[in-house]
Amino acid sequence: MTKVLRVSLPVLIFLVAWEAASRMGVVNSALFPPPTRALSALVEMGRSGELWRDMKASYGRLLLGMVCGVVIGTPIGLMTGRIHAVADVLVPLIQIFRPLPPVAIVPLVIVWFGIGESAKVFSIAFAVFFPIWLNTHLGAQQISAKFLWSASTLTHSRWRIFRSVIFPASLPLITAGLRGAIAVAFVMVFVSELAGASEGIGYEIAATHLAYRIDKMIAALAVLGASGALADALFAASITRIFPWLRFSHSK
Amino acid sequence: MAQVLPLQMSESQNRKAWIQAEGLTVRLGSTVIIEDACFTVYKGEFVSLVGLSGSGKTTMLNALAGFIPSTGRVHIPGRIGVVFQDYSVFPWMTVSENIAFGLHDLPMQQRTQIVSRLLEMVRLTDRAGLYPAQLSGGQAQRVGIARALAPDPDVIFMDEPYASLDRFTREDMQRWLLDVWGERQKTIVFVTHDIEEAIFLSDRIAVLHDRRIKATVEIPFSRPRREDLKYSKEFLEVKLKILEKMRGAADMKDKRNSALHRPADERD
């Protein structure tokens, strides 16, 4: 109970202060509509069905982009972290692309892929690839030699060592990379929907901006922020369910 | 890399040489860590490597086990097992999964039998489903030893496995290890900086100093050994003998260093 209060109290105080400031004219209510008005706008968006349509579109792109990033980033990270020959070939190439702000590639992606779904999914996958790759690479690189020496006395199968030792030993950093990637994916889904989209939360924010519906903008932003926080919490909870030993690893 | 060859049995004093190292040298860049070491361990023997910090005990063990590049020749019979002070068990596997890791070639029924027998031996049957982080340090080390024993290796290398344990747990683990060794009769190479531990456990002690094995000391005590042996006059005598060998080697080094640093006209 105390923890619930500790977590919710700052949010409540913030919302009440905002509501009061907006209603009492401390801030311009046209620019800073009170949270209750944003809530009404959210209910309105939900009733009309546009909120669900936008959420479905955005989360679909986000999920697909994340899956592509994980499927490509994790094995490459494991290989560059453990196999020198692969690292020699791939790391310089990846390091050239890594400093690029993912947002900067969106115009180029539109030129390449058009304004369809593939452009948005590619942008998200591109952006999430780097935190996933880097953390996996470092995780695989930092495995204690003693784990590998022990494993080599117990099995001759390199695949088994890779699957049963290298992958789990890298997992604490892989999960850290995935949590970073979730946050990046939410940024990228918004950015990729700003141009050339007809649905999605990012599109909704851009469209309501043109219509000067600030209450709707705030409602859509709140949905995006809350979804990001929820996705992170769900990921953290599910990963320790799938790999229970990570609970002890995190507590250290 | 030292050549790890199948054992060619050689008889010495009616004992089978089980590990033979000849001219074993380990370099780290231009620094020589082990130089031209010759070392024999006989079948079923419990040998400890002792020496001051930085004398190369762990490097010697890693080179014998073939974990690090070395030159010279090492004869080892088939399979080895290893137990380290830390990282001795996989934290992502439960106790029983750790023990079963080296048994994947066996049919499931046989694997289960071996695991339950080893769990009983390490007194952890009721902890089989727990993760290493849920165990005490001594229990985790017992899992590490059970895992090393599971595939029935010919030699077990142990690198300061009890260094992080408190005195009472360590003594308990020493007695337990002697029981296991008595039961399994494995050849064990044990690295420790604790001379009492080395004497209590070993048949023979090799003293490392200045990159080489300076002396080997036979331990005259019969088995089984009891805890009160550590408080006997004979035990103390052996301890002093080993300390003398270690100190002698260190003193010789100090004398040589001070001679080298003295001005030329002051030298003998």
Place of tokens 């060794």: B181
Q: What does the pLDDT read at residue B168?
A: 86
pLDDT digits (tens, 9 = 90+) for A183-204: 999 999 999 888 777 889 888 8
| Tokens coding A200 | 């999605």
Interface of A with B in 159-198 (CB under 8 A): 160, 164-165, 168-169, 171
CA distances from A65 to A62, A105, A164, B102, B182 (A): 5, 15, 27, 39, 59
Of B62, B91, B151, the CB nearest to A154: B151
The DSSP secondary-structure symbol of B90 reads: -
In chain A, which residues have their Cβ closer than 8 Å to the Cβ of B67? 145, 149, 152
- For residue A239, the distance in angstroms to the closest alpha carbon of chain B comes to 13
pLDDT digits (tens, 9 = 90+) for A212-222: 889 999 999 99
Q: In sequence order, what are the residues at sequence separation of 6 or more whose Cβ sits closer than 8 angstroms to the Cβ of residue A246? A: A171, A172, A175, A239, A240
Interface of B with A in 125-184 (CB under 8 A): 131, 133-134, 147-148, 150-151, 153
Q: What does the pLDDT read at residue A212?
A: 85
Q: Distance between CA A61 and CA A67 in Å, rounded?
A: 10
Q: What does the pLDDT read at residue B253?
A: 54
- Contact between B155 and B19 under an 8 Å Cβ cutoff? The reply is yes
Q: Is B81 on the interface with A (CB under 8 A)?
A: yes
The DSSP secondary-structure symbol of B266 reads: G
Q: In sequence order, what are the residues at sequence separation of 6 or more whose Cβ sits closer than 8 angstroms to the Cβ of residue A181? A: A66, A69, A70, A73, A128, A131, A132
Domain ranges in chain B are 43-53+78-260
- Contact between B210 and B172 under an 8 Å Cβ cutoff? The reply is no
In chain A, which residues have their Cβ closer than 8 Å to the Cβ of B152? none
pLDDT digits (tens, 9 = 90+) for A5-62: 888 899 899 999 999 999 998 988 888 999 999 999 999 999 999 899 999 999 999 9
Q: Is B92 on the interface with A (CB under 8 A)?
A: yes
Of A146, A150, A245, the CB nearest to B131: A245
Handedness of CA B255, B257, B262, B268 (dihedral sign): positive
What is the reported pTM?
0.83
To which H or E segment does residue B61 belong? helix B57-64
Q: What is the mean pLDDT of residues A139-151?
A: 95
Beta carbons of B104 and A149 less than 8 Å apart: no
Fold of the domain built from segment(s) B43-53+78-260: Rossmann fold (3.40.50)
Per-residue pLDDT of chain B (268 residues; tens, 9 = 90+): 554 444 344 444 567 888 999 999 999 888 999 999 998 999 999 999 999 888 899 999 999 999 999 999 999 888 999 999 887 799 999 999 999 999 999 999 999 999 999 999 888 999 999 999 999 988 999 999 999 999 999 999 999 998 888 888 888 889 888 988 888 888 999 999 999 999 999 999 999 988 889 899 999 999 888 889 999 999 999 999 999 888 765 565 555 555 545 544 444 3
pLDDT digits (tens, 9 = 90+) for A93-127: 999 999 999 888 888 888 888 888 899 999 999 99
Which CATH number does A35-251 carry? Answer: 1.10.3720.10
Q: What does the pLDDT read at residue B251?
A: 61
Q: Is A95 on the interface with B (CB under 8 A)?
A: no
Residues in chain A: 252
**CA-wise closest residue to A149 among B47, B39, B88:** B88
Q: Distance between CA A49 and CA A26 in Å, rounded?
A: 34
Q: Is A51 on the interface with B (CB under 8 A)?
A: no
Burial string for A60-80 (b: 16+ CB within 10 Å, else e) reads: ebbebbbebbbebbbebbbbb
Q: Is B246 on the interface with A (CB under 8 A)?
A: no
Q: Distance between CA B133 and CA A27 in Å, rounded?
A: 54
Q: What does the pLDDT read at residue B11?
A: 45
The residue in chain A having the minimum alpha-carbon distance to the alpha carbon of residue B94 is: A245
Please say if the pLDDT value at position A74 is more than 90.
yes
Q: Is A149 on the interface with B (CB under 8 A)?
A: yes
Q: Is A243 on the interface with B (CB under 8 A)?
A: yes
What ipTM did this prediction achieve?
0.85
